[in-house]
Structure 1
């Protein structure tokens, strides 16, 4: 993705075959002096990267939801907005969890779509780190916003965009506990719905990936009933809050903190898998 600045024109690509919508959008975005690329088919991520886009508007009827997941993983800096015919809530949830930043249902007014694109780009701009904060180091971990990943030496964790943003927000909190609702607002850009377990699911995924590259350290700590805190601590130091990795045998819960959260995370993982 191209760096986003007030001086450079916004570059947007559209993957859709709705000629009426495309004609109106091309006219409207052109009036904003944005650069527009209309794509008749979903290109590979290498082609998308070469276009140096700020945002991609796509119709999953042409791309499939797996394309969203693939693009979000390969180009985490690219804003993804879905615009498509009515679908079920479960399909929308899958698309948003795959990496879409926003989802509009057709028929939609072109001005609303433009406003949604601008809102996503504003959130992206507000979330950009200043140059002096490019790398955050903690324990063995180097958190690299320039690569949207975390590293131990040359080994990357292969974080998705949402996983990286979750890690970055926790690490930038300087050891403070972030409440689940606050994390959701920072990472997803919306108010968290009652009962939503997305934060817990993504914390579980993030922990698993960090454990693979840094097994001797713990980074994300649970504060039960509140939220999560980032701190680099060696295993063996007082930290009973880590949940067993997926598939690992569970030990009988000990008294004290840590006994209840892993069960909730298992339920959350199961719900996320069904969705």
Structure 2
């Protein structure tokens, strides 16, 4: 697809694609008064929220696509510590706030060491709790994708944020919105990005343990880059960590290596005289 045809469709689609995801919060609690006050305040702030009177499985929490979980350990019962550890371990990008009754220093320390982002003691003011939720989500979310509308050329590709597309010459790479967001994020970073960070910043919520979505999209993105720009290598894998964007001219590297291998070794002077 040419740039001219893409511009027509992109003018209406790009703003919606760049829209930030709403904050999604789940609250596991059995205090109806507390839940109602908190729900009213979250709704007033435009947050999506779910009230749960029983603990949800990790799989259910993943399906809910949450940014934050507020948890009363008293609802869980004897398995509360195991549940907290399991949720924090399986959902490292989820902001977890324990909001429960009076506790000892040892209990609070244990909860935080198991992975909770914050510990609030009831009774607490809903406004304070919401501020704690927002702060925890900010730490996990880092920064949203930068809103850059200036075209940039990297290697052979031209990235057009205004069109949500990338090109080699006049030829579009035919990137999906998700593929473009990953390309833009990687291209604007000067470091290795963890898979979890890529997921949180592109998808907008926590990545479940074992989720391979980032790897799948990066593989498709690489295939499109390689098909349109075969002489260049753009995305590099750091095994066990994530990905780094660093355009490298593969042909030049190959020719340099071949040239060094094919260079004739210098002969000793006495052998040169004998051959002469």
- TM-score, length-scaled by structure 2: 0.47
- Whose helix proportion is higher, 1 or 2? 2
Structure with higher Rg: it is 2
The answer to which structure, 1 or 2, has the higher relative contact order (CA under 8 A, 6+ apart) is: 2
